C-alpha cells in the first residue's frame, strides 16, 4: 500500500511543489480537502478527497470534514502495536504517514480592528489543530509539517529516511504552532471581553519564579512563550535573572536592533553596534568598525553611568570584545553569539549574566507591546517601524551637510528608546549625552548637553517630541550644537526655526514623534 500524506493548509505557499515531490518522487497517495484539494487538482495531481476517504460528506458549512475516525485513527495508530493493527484492519483504516496542516488565518483576520466578533470566531480552526496535535503526539510514526519553510528540509531528509530527531523537532514546532494559535485567540478574546491581565497570562507558560520584583518586598514571576523573544534566550553563565535585569535587557535589545541584529533573519546586522542601558534608558550607544570598537565607544560615552549596566551587542562577541566587557562591572550582556575564546575570558566574571539570543527568537516575538494597568492590559504595536530620512523636511534656511545628516539619523534612531521627554546629543555614530524622563523638555536638554560638555560643539541634538517653546533650541545653540531634529507640529515651531536661522543651525522635521513612557 502506498504511504499516505494528508494535506490541508490555509497558507498554500509551496504546497504544490511539496505535493508533487511527495507523489511523483516518493510515491505518496495524496489525501486532501476543501481549497487545498482544489489547488492540487488544478496542478494536475491525483487527489483523494477526505469526504471520499471517510465516506462522510463535509457538513455544517465545512465546520466538520476531518473530524472522523478514519482520519484520526490513521494519524494516531502506532505501527507495530498488535491492538492498533487489529483496529486498523477491522475498520479498514489505512495509516497516514505525513500530515501537512497550517491553520485558519485567525491572527491575520483579527489584525483588522474593524473585524466583527462573528467573523473572527469563524476563523478559529478546530479540525486543523486536532490533526496537528494528533500527528505531533504520534511523531514516532507520523511526520507533521506546519510551515512552508519546513518543506525543503523534510524532502531532503525523506530521501534518506526521516530520522527520529527530525520527527521530534517537527513535533515540537507543531505544538508551538498550536500553542501560539491558542494564545492569539485567548489574547484577542481577552481584549474584547476586557478580561483582567491575570486571565490573559494563563495562556502563556510560566518560565520561572523570580527572586523578587522591582524591590525585595515584591513577588514576581516570568511568563514567556518557548523560543519566542526572551523565552528563546540561553543563559550561558551568571546569577539568576531578576525583574529589573529583564526590563533593562528589553530596553537594550530594542535599542541595538536599530542597527540590525545577528547575521541572518530580518534583522541582519548592517553596522556593528553596542548599547549600554541603565534603568531602562540607554546611557551609551555607538557604532564602530568591529564589535570591540563599537563597545569601547559606547562605554566611553558615559563610563560612570555604565558601571553596573546592561550591555546589548548586535553581532558575534569575540575575544577582544570580551576583554573590553571585563574592564568594568556589568550586570548582563546579551548578543546573538559568543566565540569559544570569548566565553573563556568572560568566565572570569562568574556572576556576569551572559545571554545568547538568536535572531530567530527575536523575529518570532510578535508585533504587540503589552503593559498592565490596574484590572487590565494595554496592547499596542511595537514602535519599531523603519526610519525613512527621505520623508523628512528641512525647516531652517541652512540644510544639514552629509556628515550632519548621518549624525541626525543616528540620533533619531536612538531617541525613541529614551524615556520622554527625551533628548539625545550625538556625533560620529556615538551618543555624547542623554536626557531622559524629565518633566519638561528643556530640563532633559540641559542634562544631555551638560553630559556632552565640550563635545557638544559640532554635534547634533534629537528630541522625541516637538519644542513647545524656543528655549531648548537656544540652549542647544549656546552649547555649540550644529543641527537639530524633531517631529515638528508645535504652534510655536516658527519661533524655534527662527532661533536656528539666527544661530546658523540646521533643523530637520520628521513629522513623527516617538514618546516612550
For 341-367, the pLDDT digits (tens) are 999 999 999 999 999 999 888 876 666
Domains in the chain, CATH or no CATH each: 4-192 (3.40.50.1380), 233-363 (3.40.140.20), 389-509 (3.40.140.20)
The partner residues of 313 in beta bridges, in order of sequence, read: 274
Please check whether residue 421 is in contact with residue 441, taking contact to mean a CB–CB distance below 8 angstroms.
Answer: yes
C-alpha cell at 79: 505501527
Please check whether residue 314 is in contact with residue 260, taking contact to mean a CB–CB distance below 8 angstroms.
Answer: yes
Q: What is the DSSP letter of 380?
A: E
Please check whether residue 262 is in contact with residue 270, taking contact to mean a CB–CB distance below 8 angstroms.
Answer: no
CA angle 301, 305, 311 (to 5 degrees): 75
Name the least confident of 115-129, 313-327, 434-448, 460-474.
Answer: 115-129
Please state, rounded to an integer, the average pLDDT across all residues of the chain. 87
List active site positions. 137, 279
How far is residue 46's CA from residue 489's CA, in Å, rounded to a whole number?
62
**pLDDT tier at 276, thresholds 50, 70, 90:** very high
Whole-number CA gyration radius for the chain = 28
Q: Kindly report the pTM of this predicted structure.
A: 0.62
**pLDDT tier at 57, thresholds 50, 70, 90:** low
How far is residue 310's CA from residue 321's CA, in Å, rounded to a whole number?
15
How far is residue 306's CA from residue 299's CA, in Å, rounded to a whole number?
6
Amino acid at each position: 500500500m502506498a504511504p499516505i500524506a494528508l494535506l490541508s493548509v490555509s497558507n498554500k505557499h509551496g504546497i504544490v511543489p511539496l505535493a508533487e515531490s511527495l507523489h511523483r518522487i516518493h510515491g505518496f497517495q495524496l489525501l486532501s480537502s476543501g481549497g487545498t484539494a482544489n489547488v492540487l487538482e488544478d496542478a494536475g495531481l491525483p487527489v483523494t478527497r477526505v469526504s471520499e476517504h471517510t465516506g462522510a460528506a463535509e457538513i455544517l458549512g465545512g465546520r466538520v470534514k476531518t473530524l472522523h475516525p478514519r482520519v484520526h485513527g490513521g494519524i494516531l495508530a502506532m505501527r507495530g502495536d498488535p491492538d492498533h493493527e487489529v483496529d486498523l484492519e477491522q475498520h479498514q483504516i489505512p495509516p497516514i504517514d505525513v500530515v501537512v496542516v497550517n491553520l485558519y488565518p485567525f491572527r491575520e483576520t483579527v489584525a483588522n480592528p474593524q473585524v466583527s466578533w462573528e467573523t473572527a470566531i469563524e476563523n478559529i480552526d478546530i479540525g486543523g489543530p486536532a490533526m496537528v496535535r494528533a500527528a505531533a503526539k504520534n511523531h514516532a510514526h507520523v511526520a507533521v509539517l506546519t510551515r512552508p519553510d519546513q518543506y525543503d528540509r523534510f524532502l531532503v531528509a525523506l530521501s534518506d529516511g526521516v530520522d527520529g530527531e527530525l520527527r521530534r523537532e517537527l513535533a515540537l514546532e507543531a505544538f508551538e504552532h498550536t500553542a501560539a494559535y491558542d494564545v492569539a485567540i485567548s489574547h484577542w478574546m481577552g481584549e474584547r471581553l476586557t478580561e483582567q491581565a491575570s486571565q490573559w497570562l494563563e495562556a502563556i507558560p510560566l518560565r520561572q519564579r523570580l527572586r523578587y520584583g522591582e524591590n525585595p518586598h515584591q513577588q514576581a514571576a516570568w511568563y514567556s512563550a518557548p523560543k519566542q523573544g526572551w523565552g528563546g534566550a540561553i543563559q550561558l553563565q551568571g546569577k539568576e535573572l531578576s525583574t529589573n535585569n529583564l526590563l533593562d535587557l528589553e530596553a537594550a535589545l530594542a535599542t541595538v536592533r536599530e542597527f540590525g541584529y545577528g547575521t541572518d533573519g530580518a534583522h541582519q546586522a548592517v553596522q556593528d553596534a553596542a548599547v549600554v542601558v541603565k534603568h531602562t534608558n540607554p546611557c551609551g550607544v555607538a557604532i564602530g568598525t568591529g564589535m570591540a570598537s563599537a563597545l569601547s565607544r559606547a562605554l566611553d560615552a558615559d563610563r560612570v553611568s555604565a558601571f553596573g549596566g546592561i550591555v546589548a551587542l548586535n553581532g558575534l562577541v569575540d575575544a577582544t570584545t570580551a576583554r573590553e566587557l571585563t574592564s568594568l562591572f556589568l550586570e548582563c550582556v546579551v548578543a546573538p553569539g559568543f566565540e569559544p575564546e570569548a566565553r573563556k575570558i568572560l568566565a572570569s566574571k562568574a556572576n556576569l549574566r551572559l545571554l545568547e539570543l538568536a535572531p530567530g527568537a527575536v523575529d518570532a516575538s510578535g508585533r504587540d507591546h503589552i503593559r498592565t494597568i490596574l484590572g487590565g492590559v494595554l496592547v499596542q504595536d511595537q514602535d519599531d517601524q523603519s526610519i525613512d530620512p527621505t520623508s523628512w523636511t528641512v525647516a531652517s534656511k541652512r540644510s544639514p551637510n552629509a556628515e550632519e545628516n548621518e549624525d541626525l539619523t543616528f540620533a533619531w534612531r536612538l531617541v525613541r528608546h529614551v524615556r520622554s521627554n527625551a533628548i539625545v546629543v550625538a556625533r560620529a555614530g556615538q551618543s555624547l549625552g542623554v536626557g531622559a524622563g524629565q518633566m519638561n523638555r528643556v530640563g532633559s536638554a540641559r542634562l544631555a548637553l551638560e553630559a556632552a560638555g565640550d563635545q557638544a560643539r559640532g554635534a547634533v541634538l534629537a528630541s522625541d517630541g516637538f519644542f513647545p517653546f524656543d528655549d531648548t533650541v537656544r540652549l542647544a545653540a549656546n552649547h555649540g550644537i550644529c543641527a537639530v531634529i524633531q517631529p515638528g507640529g508645535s504652534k510655536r515651531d516658527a519661533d524655534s526655526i527662527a532661533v536656528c536661522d539666527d544661530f546658523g543651525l540646521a533643523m530637520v522635521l520628521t513629522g513623527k514623534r516617538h514618546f516612550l513612557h
